Structure 1
Amino acid sequence: MKNLIKYFSIGLLIFMFSCEDESFPYVPPVAEIPSDADFAENFGSQVSASFLGRIIDENNSPVEGVTIEIGNSTATTDAFGVFSIQNANVFERFAYIKAEKDGYIKGSRALVPSESEINQVQIMLLEKTVTETISSGESSVVSLSNGSEVTFDGNFITTSGSSYNGSVNVTVKHLSPDDNNMNVMMPGMLYAQNMSGNEVALETYGMLAVELTTSGGESLQLAENSRSRITVPLAADVTNPPSTIPLWYFDDINGYWKEDGQAILQGNQYIGEVSHFTFWNYDYPYPAVNLCITLRDTNGNPLPYTALDLYSELLNSTGTYGFTDSSGTECGLVPADEELTVTVYSPLCLDSPFTTTIGPFSFDVNTTVIVDLEDNITFEGNFLTCDGQDVTNGYVQLFINEVSQVIPVTDGSIDVAFNACGATSYTYKGIDLENNQETEVFTGVIDDTTTTINVGSFSACTVFEDSDSDSVPDTLEDVDGDNNLDNDDTDGDGIPNYLDQDDDGDGINTIDEDYDGDEDPTNDDTDSDGISNYLDDNDLNLFIGEIGGNGCEPVTYDFGALFANIYNIDSNEYVFYVTEADADAEINAITLPYSLPFTEAVQNPEIYVKATSTITGQSGIASVFLFLNDFDSDNDGLTDCEELTGVDNPNTNLIPSGTSDPNDPNDPNDTSNNGYDARCDSNFDGSVQFNLTSWNAFFLNGGNSNDIEISYHPCEMCALNNGGALNGLYNNITNPETIYVRRFDNSTGDLQILLLTLEVFDPPIIPDNLSIIECDGDNDGFATFNLNSIKTEINNANQNPNLINITFHLALGDAIDGVNPIGVDSFNNTQSTQQTIYVRAEFTDTGCSSSDPVELIVDSGC
């Protein structure tokens, strides 16, 4: 049996694990770090399996030149993004497929492989675009428009473990269950190792991918003991989300998820802390049963290579996605005791799927689902090599209703059912990958009486032709996959690609765009944009860029990140100019490094870059926008540069009233509209509950509460978009923490974003079981106790004893309230033999205090 593309929530797995009873709500167990070697015992023995897959980008376009790795086998995708690997060494219950290409985040898929069938795989690679450039040594926040957010403390290390100082390029990608493409975007499958070392199936509430690189492209990680807060918004369809949820990271070496920490639900966002970066996943583990589904049509015929989704209420309306094998079967783990909705799609009419319900199942089961597709048609035949043998490594390209369907062939036989959806004609051709031969293109007609298309036996006897002698076989010049070479005309010059010596019309013949000299232009992509040079009329890959400026007088712009992530084609030369006219004339080039006075920098100036390819000779001009890295060290709403220069930055909300200290939140600049709330932490965990709504009157500032709306948000973008509002009772996540206050006046339409700083202070530490024993010299039950010994113990337990005021009290209530102190350091007990008094320790700078009992014991036996 095989298990193909796995999607979400309890993804269809076939791992035979013990269904241990996970308590709800889930509490992560405390255990030693599980062994990868022990966990791999779940995968079974090593076997040999074959794979046929397709790699696409976020626009669903094929990506050529992707390196594929399965076990010890490798391959490279062709112009259609297709790869084929025969007899790869994998595990019988776990195959891990890795896809990698420069300019993209590493992609992968994990599945349960079939030994007897071709395993189909589809992976969508995410473009590695820089979300923001930050600086080491400085705290910063990187946000996406949907409310996703990552915080950094400024401490980073290189892959060698050395500390890193300089610019850091941050790439952030959010994967939401709301996105229909999440199934092909996410790495691996939702199969995980929990903290106890057990295998579990997962329900995802969203993922976040974060990559850190230097300006030169070297990978970075958080420094040891550094933590980052990650915030992910809830998907729209989620109902009754748990208040806490486990966090899981993707182990891209081993190919599965590992539990590491948990996140807290705040409003409509999950917030957690992580110590390193890869893909992070907010998931809930569930007990599961092993389910095998066989899809058959109404005549009892199996439906091979058919896509299906599974949904349940437990999965919060998200589902799992996969393909059946050649016998129409798909196996894996599903939630126990839950009714499941099965949806079966025809690739030719996605808007008319078949839907039914099955279950619930409390034990492992095999079941058959009869799929009643409207206008169901079976496509069958036998694909042969030119010498009459069954094709064992090839595929048939079937084109119906403007949709191209690839049917893998491993034993010559073809038997596929589909919904015609009103189709009237079809075309198909066979490609024998083993012998580099293809068939002619066959055509046919479908009418209301068509139930079966039996194409009989057909052979691939045509060696790949190259009509225009451009080193690209004609069959690969069928860019749209419709089996018609005459309508593929990339440059629109009226000459089809297979007859056109210059397919992209850039003045360079296709055969001359073979820059690596391997006589194959399809794998040459000098600008790494995923489009081969011979189909790309702009091999510069030149885009609009932006650069962040640091410092104040002057502001200096770091071009390193720009060169590393945007203008990074080795074969291009880049020169910068102040005006577009200068760039066109190639005069008055900017000398790097480039700097501007702060008064000019705040105007968001624009410069221009001219790129020239040393290989192709092409040139182009693009804009480069200059922006400021607006740091606010004291969180008072004014940037550091505004405080140092007194010049207003129009991108911020407050206007400076003069120059001041960027590290002093109480400096002369007007911060009266911002709030500050400090609390004492009795349990030393750094988090206490704040009543945010108690600040409403302050932020109304005398305004009418009927007209003015006050709400509290975890990020500035959230406040601007009125999203992710926090509950009135809020426990801080970081310390200190800045809350963004949205003040919107409905009567005037005025919007202000103000700040509320939350800070938590620890009280002094008082050691446990404090006591003093004094000798009773005259056996009357009373003695004199020197209380300074208690003060010494408390001072030794704290780092700042000079800031601690210690007093003693006869009653616990007096100690807590700080009233009626004893007032002496030598105390005579008033209760015979033993007396309890109480000590109060208070930090004089914060007012936070602790109170504990002190036992005074009279020793009559001394």
Structure 2
Amino acid sequence: MRSSNYLFVLLALFFVISGCREEGEIITTETGDIPPPTVITATVTTVVITQSGEMLSDVDITGLGAAGRLNPDGSYTIDAGQLSSDGTLVTVTSPGHWPERRLLMPAGDGELVETFVLEPKVKAGEIDLTTGGIIQIADGFSVMLAPNTIATTADGSPYEGPVEVYVNHDAPEDADEMLNSPGNVLAQLENGELANLESFGMMDVALESPDGDPLTLDESTPAEVRFPLKSATVPLGPDDIPFWVLDPDGFWLPDGFATLGPDCYIVFINVGGTYNCDVPRPAARICGRFVDAGGFPLTHSPFAVNLVGGLTCYTARIDCNGEFCAWVAADAALEFQVKDSCTGEVIVVPFDPVPVSTSRELGDIVIDLSNSAFAGSLTSCGSAGTPDLELAEIWANGYGGNGGKYFAAQSDGSTIVSLINCDDDEVLVQAFTRDYRAASPVYRRPADDFAPQQLVVCGELDADEFFTLTIDGTDIPITELAPIYWPENGNFNWLVRAAGTLNGEEYSLFLNFSDPATGAFAAADAMGAVYRLEPGQDYGEGRVYVDPDQMLNLIGSSVSADGDVFEGSFDATMNLQNDASQSVEAVNLSVTASFRINL
């Protein structure tokens, strides 16, 4: 694993200004929103975001049994070998948010990409123990305490203050909420047998003092909780449905029954927890592969398994090979449901009942989505073979989470690019190494082109490229060049690394800019820094040239008609600071460059 310093300084170079240049104040280089440094085969990447789509980095991920790698964008890469073939319950927590839990179930050696959406933990209201009261959140959705409710703290001491109530409901009719829930966790019955659950809704409930201490209500005065149901769901539910609580060991455990009301299930609880109103069904296992109409595997798409005429019994995402395994209700008519994110259409594929306690291989399941698909292969320029696959990344439509999508390469450098493209007429695909030392061109392809694509990854200047760099009157011989298409990375759409060696030291320029254009760039649309490293040093351990005022003065002199060749120059006044000693060694140094880059 890279050192934290290595992750700290690579790449989208945002600067925090802490003083004026003349005084020689140290300037801190920080990463921006860096996408996952991705994943090799047989890994899982979990991306943690808020409901508004912002990345979270202050997270704790448990249930894996061993450490993973926290990436600077909040994603987390783990070895799929840590996952049980029967599924592993993974829990993600972050201060101020409800925990999110999901059963991760690998189908083979394909990479899983999971996105946990953490919902804020917001107080629904508070109730006085003496007077009691009801917190009405929506129709059929409430929490009520009776007058003179008896409560104790965690140590058993009597409690007489207000009860703060927090709730978070996952509606059974909402496919997105069911995907981001522990609905695919098996139940453990009282006799020890395991069961699949047809979900009629889940809810997190917390009963706390104003200090945040959990409270326990006396058995004689429980809280009444109502789980809301849509009108179309009510006829599907039994009058009395088993009630379940999620156990940290990874099973739903029986916790009594809930009663069907006019628009909800009604249940009584004494402590906070994660609860479920579900119908248990004998379990069976299925595995298969989703492919499009052309036979290309779909990748990372969410899917659900529903009882025909009923509700969901399993939700998950397929892996990078289009493969999946799932626990489903046995001896029941079932169907896959996959939503086309472009058209909104839900594609339904029924399949035959699976006998209890058996496993069935379903083979290829054809889902005709609005997707683009083609085979790709990695190769290195100037020599036979492929780039270092442990460092190689393949991205369609740009690096990162702003519409870009990652694809893993197999051991021979091959891959299948399959993505939902909706209204776009073309697909952009690029390969590069995670250390940004080599990259292929950005290949622009018609969205309906299914022909194979070779991705030629190079780290040297092409014959028709040049890059000159001069620092304080000294010319730095640039021999390495790698442009990375990184759309909507702040104001920038491109990251270019240009590097060379002088007197045994490596000089690496990281240049960010917006779309290639002629004329002067606005100050906010271009930025750069030059790392000066001795042998064996990582970024953040050596010296770096930085401009505290972020005035790069980038000027574009020409751009080709199709935008794939960019010529320009820049000049800046920079300080030379030592990251290791946190000192400034020189100020007001002239840094100039001119270039012609094939993008």
TM-score between both structures, scaled by the size of structure 1: 0.45
- Tell whether 2:335 aligns with 1:341: yes
Deviation at 1:136, TM superposition (A): 4.5
- 1-structure distance, mates of 2:199, 2:287: 22
* Aligned pair partner of 1:321 in 311, 315, 321: 315
CA 1:388–1:379 in 2, change beyond 3 Å: closer, same or farther? Answer: closer
Q: Which residue of 1 aligns with 2:415?
A: 414
- Tell whether 2:469 aligns with 1:458: no
2:108–2:323 Cα contact (<8 Å) kept: no
CA 1:273–1:382 in 2, change beyond 3 Å: closer, same or farther? Answer: same
Amino acid corresponding to residue 454 of structure 1 in structure 2:
Q
Deviation per CA, 1:524-579: give whole Å up to 9, x if none.
xxxxxxxxxxxxxxxxxxxxxxxxxxxxxxxxxxxxxxxxxxxxxxxxxxxxxxxx
Q: Which runs of 5+ in 1 are unaligned?
A: 1-47, 463-472, 502-517, 521-862
Amino acid corresponding to residue 198 of structure 2 in structure 1:
E
Q: Which residue of 2 aligns with 1:54?
A: 47
- 2-structure distance, mates of 1:147, 1:110: 29
Deviation at 1:389, TM superposition (A): 4.5
Q: Which residue of 1 aligns with 2:326?
A: 332
Deviation per CA, 1:82-140: give whole Å up to 9, x if none.
22123664433232222111110111211223563323222111101111123445523
- Tell whether 2:137 aligns with 1:141: no
Deviation at 1:216, TM superposition (A): 2.7
* Aligned pair partner of 1:230 in 208, 225, 230: 225
* Aligned pair partner of 1:65 in 51, 55, 58: 58
Q: Which residue of 2 aligns with 1:528?
A: none
Deviation at 1:247, TM superposition (A): 0.2
1:397–1:404 Cα contact (<8 Å) kept: yes
- 2-structure distance, mates of 1:482, 1:84: 25
* Aligned pair partner of 2:367 in 366, 371, 383: 371
* Aligned pair partner of 1:187 in 165, 173, 182: 182
SS of the equivalent of 1:183 reads: helix
- 1-structure distance, mates of 2:372, 2:242: 44
Q: Which residue of 2 aligns with 1:405?
A: 405
Deviation at 1:346, TM superposition (A): 5.7
SS of the equivalent of 1:91 reads: coil
Deviation at 1:391, TM superposition (A): 2.5
Deviation at 1:410, TM superposition (A): 6.8
Q: Which residue of 2 aligns with 1:126?
A: 119
121-130 or 360-369, which deviates more: 360-369
Q: Which residue of 2 aligns with 1:381?
A: 377
- 2-structure distance, mates of 1:116, 1:78: 21
- 2-structure distance, mates of 1:134, 1:438: 61
SS of the equivalent of 2:230 reads: coil
Amino acid corresponding to residue 138 of structure 2 in structure 1:
S
SS of the equivalent of 1:73 reads: coil
Q: Which residue of 1 aligns with 2:288?
A: 293
Deviation at 1:283, TM superposition (A): 0.3
Q: Which residue of 2 aligns with 1:173?
A: 168
Q: Which residue of 1 aligns with 2:240?
A: 244
Q: Which residue of 1 aligns with 2:527?
A: 499
- 1-structure distance, mates of 2:249, 2:392: 30
- 2-structure distance, mates of 1:102, 1:459: 43
Amino acid corresponding to residue 396 of structure 2 in structure 1:
L
Q: Which residue of 1 aligns with 2:442?
A: 442
Deviation at 1:204, TM superposition (A): 0.9
- 2-structure distance, mates of 1:171, 1:453: 53
Deviation at 1:396, TM superposition (A): 3.3
Deviation per CA, 1:435-465: give whole Å up to 9, x if none.
57674662403165x1135133436899xxx
- Tell whether 2:198 aligns with 1:200: no
Alignment of 1:528-547 (within 5 A): none
Deviation per CA, 1:681-720: give whole Å up to 9, x if none.
xxxxxxxxxxxxxxxxxxxxxxxxxxxxxxxxxxxxxxxx
2:320–2:408 Cα contact (<8 Å) kept: no
Deviation per CA, 1:731-755: give whole Å up to 9, x if none.
xxxxxxxxxxxxxxxxxxxxxxxxx
2:126–2:163 Cα contact (<8 Å) kept: yes
Q: Which residue of 2 aligns with 1:103?
A: 96
SS of the equivalent of 1:282 reads: strand
SS of the equivalent of 2:344 reads: strand
Amino acid corresponding to residue 404 of structure 1 in structure 2:
G
1:49–1:89 Cα contact (<8 Å) kept: no
2:183–2:313 Cα contact (<8 Å) kept: no
SS of the equivalent of 1:315 reads: coil
Deviation at 1:341, TM superposition (A): 3.4
* Aligned pair partner of 1:478 in 467, 489, 512: 489
153-162 or 121-130, which deviates more: 153-162
Amino acid corresponding to residue 426 of structure 2 in structure 1:
S
SS of the equivalent of 1:181 reads: helix
1:56–1:125 Cα contact (<8 Å) kept: yes
CA 1:446–1:334 in 2, change beyond 3 Å: closer, same or farther? Answer: same
Say which structure is richer in helix.
1
CA 1:379–1:246 in 2, change beyond 3 Å: closer, same or farther? Answer: same
CA 1:189–1:159 in 2, change beyond 3 Å: closer, same or farther? Answer: farther
* Identity %, equivalent residues: 20
- Tell whether 2:156 aligns with 1:157: no
Deviation at 1:260, TM superposition (A): 0.8
1:205–1:235 Cα contact (<8 Å) kept: no
Deviation at 1:290, TM superposition (A): 2.5
CA 1:338–1:486 in 2, change beyond 3 Å: closer, same or farther? Answer: farther
- 2-structure distance, mates of 1:244, 1:395: 52
- 1-structure distance, mates of 2:174, 2:460: 43
Amino acid corresponding to residue 318 of structure 2 in structure 1:
T
CA 1:127–1:373 in 2, change beyond 3 Å: closer, same or farther? Answer: closer
More relative contact order, 1 or 2 (CA 8 Å, 6+ apart): 2
CA 1:453–1:274 in 2, change beyond 3 Å: closer, same or farther? Answer: same
Say which structure is richer in strand.
2
Amino acid corresponding to residue 239 of structure 2 in structure 1:
S
Deviation at 1:74, TM superposition (A): 4.1
1:166–1:214 Cα contact (<8 Å) kept: yes
Alignment of 1:384-395 (within 5 A): 389-392=387-390, 395=393
Amino acid corresponding to residue 316 of structure 2 in structure 1:
G
1:110–1:189 Cα contact (<8 Å) kept: yes
1:310–1:320 Cα contact (<8 Å) kept: yes
Alignment of 1:18-29 (within 5 A): none
TM-score between both structures, scaled by the size of structure 2: 0.63
Amino acid corresponding to residue 121 of structure 1 in structure 2:
E
- 1-structure distance, mates of 2:152, 2:125: 18
Q: Which residue of 2 aligns with 1:427?
A: 428
CA 1:424–1:61 in 2, change beyond 3 Å: closer, same or farther? Answer: same
- 1-structure distance, mates of 2:422, 2:526: 32
- 1-structure distance, mates of 2:300, 2:239: 40
- 2-structure distance, mates of 1:480, 1:452: 34
SS of the equivalent of 2:138 reads: coil
- 2-structure distance, mates of 1:83, 1:479: 22
Alignment of 1:2-13 (within 5 A): none
SS of the equivalent of 2:397 reads: strand
Q: Which residue of 1 aligns with 2:270?
A: 275
Aligned residues: 439
Deviation at 1:286, TM superposition (A): 1.5
Amino acid corresponding to residue 97 of structure 1 in structure 2:
V
Q: Which runs of 5+ in 2 are unaligned?
A: 1-40, 462-483, 496-511, 516-520, 530-538, 542-599
Deviation per CA, 1:262-284: give whole Å up to 9, x if none.
01112222111123211111100
